Chain A
Amino acid sequence: MEQEVATFAVKKGLAQMLKGGVIMDVVTPEHARIAEDAGAVAVMALERVPADIRAHGGVARMSDPELILRIMEAVSIPVMAKCRIGHFVEAQILEALGVDYVDESEVLTPADEEHHINKHQFKVPFVCGARNLGEALRRIGEGAAMIRTKGEAGTGDVVEAVRHARAVLGEIRRLQNLPEEELMAFAKEIGAPYELVVETRQLGRLPVVNFAAGGIATPADAALMMQLGMDGVFVGSGIFKSGDPARRAAAIVKAVTHYNEPKILAEISRNLGEPMVGRQISSIPETELIAQRGW
């Protein structure tokens, strides 16, 4: 009886275990421990949170492996790390480090403006951002085992995450109402692999776990994304750019569990201190928008 590693069921399975949970961006081992103590299901190890990447400018790359390793040593929960879109060598390095998930992320400066990584070739599973169903299914076609909305990272403005969640879920609803003979034209229209279109229609949902990300800053934001039908949330800058990270982190964890209970949400939203200072997306010049990266 042979052990089989890195099957798609195993890659997708870890994301299934993260459902109903919060994945938090952390930049130090201390942050990682605060996140774990607050109930995070995983952490994303980074040198800078997206808000600082925006402020800092320049080329944003994979984080220093030393930092990622120290964060892996600090916590018992899964550790994710980001590589640039199309930068398969950064992905190879992250796999060699033993991270539990790689985020091929638009938050970093893309390394390839036409092609994403062939994620089937890796043992480590990948999560990728998507703004609509076509983009989500292209990423799954390339081997992504988990999808997240792109939102607009580092803004604290949830509007884009909502737009992307509604786009993906709305297109799935539309797909379910199509007769079978129209599926090929639909696949062509959204630029998605036909087989995945058929599978999505049959399931009534994406074939992999689908998280919300990009602009979530409060327990109410997190619960909003859950009520819209997301499987869980990533919180980037929203925690460690706020006044009381430990408290806010714990509150967002509770909000994702009790997303359908306004009375509990009211209780856990009290006295959280200052939220991160947001940046309204409509005030950001189009050339600075991150979500447009990815093809």
Chain B
Amino acid sequence: MKIGVLALQGAFIEHQHILERLGVETVQVRLPAQLEGLDGLIIPGGESTTIGKLAVDFGLLEPLRQFGKQRAIWGTCAGAIFLSKDARRDQPILGIMDIVVERNAFGRQVNSFEIELEMPFLPGQNGRVYPFRAVFIRAPLIEKVWGGASVLVSLPDGRIVAARQGKLLATSFHPELTDDDRFHRYFLELVQSPFEP
């Protein structure tokens, strides 16, 4: 299995480190040709305006949209904004997931936080189920899901912070900033699952 990590800007190395620890081959993607032969792609956290602009400048928007029609893509934070159909702001996005995302929904950096969230779909060790430590940094919120998208994780107050649509996955938090690799393993299962349109 070969997973690409969009390396235009942001925390892409953190994702690579976790995947490599899981024995997965990774490739940094900065140009369209580098998408070839990949089984899945992670769009990392970073600044969504920067990633969007570079994706336009280097001709990646359309190739990424095509990629997402066949194969798995996981967007964390800025990556989730990039996958959305509506970011409530005029900036380049892929527009392939039925979600509305609000940028910086929790406020500025001093409001960034960590919280343990119940994610029963993540397998614990020895069948034990325990919460996942989610790190939110100037994080976006998934304001609304519709169509093919469904809610995967919510905060205790009900606000949506992760969604899934077929092989597309969006999280407002950063599993790559923790040592817990369960979310990455969940994504790898998605990569290998049969395609459901």
Q: What is the interface of chain A, defined by CB distance below 8 A to chain B?
A: 1-7, 9-10, 13-14, 16-21, 36-42, 76-78, 95, 98-101, 123-125, 250, 253-254, 256-258
- The total of interchain contacts (Cβ-Cβ below 8 angstroms) comes to 122
In this complex, how many residues of chain B approach chain A with their Cβ under 8 Å: the count is 41
B50 touches A10 (CB 8 A): no
**CB within 8 A of A10: which of B8, B13, B89, B113?**
B113
**Which partner residue on chain A sits nearest B13 by CB separation?**
A19
B120-159 interface bits toward A, Cβ cutoff 8 Å, 1 = contact, 0 = none: 0000000000010001111000000000000000001000
A14 touches B138 (CB 8 A): yes
- Once A4-B114, A39-B49, A123-B110 are accepted as A-B contacts, the answer to whether A257 and B54 lie under 8 Å apart by CB is yes
CB A31 to nearest CB in B, in angstroms, measures 16
Q: Which of B138-185 contact A (CB under 8 A)?
A: 138, 156, 174, 177
**CB within 8 A of A5: which of B14, B111, B117?**
B111
What is the CA–CA distance of A184 and B138 in the complex, to the nearest angstrom? Answer: 38
**Cβ of B108: which chain A residues have Cβ within 8 Å of it?**
78, 98-100
23 residue pairs from A and B, CB less than 8 Å apart: A1-B131, A5-B111, A6-B112, A9-B177, A10-B136, A10-B137, A13-B112, A14-B109, A17-B45, A17-B47, A17-B138, A19-B9, A20-B9, A21-B9, A21-B46, A40-B50, A41-B46, A78-B138, A95-B110, A100-B138, A123-B110, A253-B50, A254-B54
B10 touches A7 (CB 8 A): no
A253 touches B54 (CB 8 A): yes
**CB within 8 A of B156: which of A1, A40, A256?**
A1
B47 touches A41 (CB 8 A): yes
A16 touches B11 (CB 8 A): yes
What is the CA–CA distance of A100 and B57 in the complex, to the nearest angstrom? Answer: 28
**Cβ of B54: which chain A residues have Cβ within 8 Å of it?**
39, 253-254, 257
**Which partner residue on chain A sits nearest B131 by CB separation?**
A1
CB B159 to nearest CB in A, in angstroms, measures 12
**Cβ of B117: which chain A residues have Cβ within 8 Å of it?**
1
A20 touches B46 (CB 8 A): yes
B49 touches A16 (CB 8 A): no
Q: Which of B75-114 contact A (CB under 8 A)?
A: 77-78, 89, 103-104, 107-114
B115 touches A4 (CB 8 A): yes
What is the CA–CA distance of A19 and B9 in the complex, to the nearest angstrom? Answer: 6
